[in-house]
Amino acid sequence: MLKDVVIEDASSDTRTHKIFNSLEKACHELDLAVPIWLDKNIEDFKRTSKCRFRKESFIEEVPFDFLEIQVIEEDPA
């Protein structure tokens, strides 16, 4: 692992908007272009709430094999 970023979103947005917004914030922090959601990314994310964006998901060249995102939801106390 090269870098790790955690984004918390307590907004009232939909889950989908939270994911897109958090991915954009994480990419900004990592100084990366936001990756393109390919069909495989969407399928993986729907199934497991995580996915890997490989080099083909980025328009620019990236110095790593993949960017992995995962939704971690806490149970309300």
* Residue-averaged pLDDT of the chain: 92
Q: How far apart are CA 26 and CA 9, in angstroms?
A: 12
The structural domains of the chain, with segments of one domain joined by +, span 15-70
Predicted TM-score (pTM) of this structure: 0.86
What pLDDT band is residue 51 in, cutting at 50, 70 and 90? Answer: very high
- Work out the average pLDDT over 52-69: 94
- Confidence at residue 26, expressed as pLDDT on a 0 to 100 scale: 95
pLDDT on residue 2: 84
Exposure string over 18-44, b if 16+ CB within 10 A, otherwise e: bbeebbeebbeeeebebbeeeeebeee
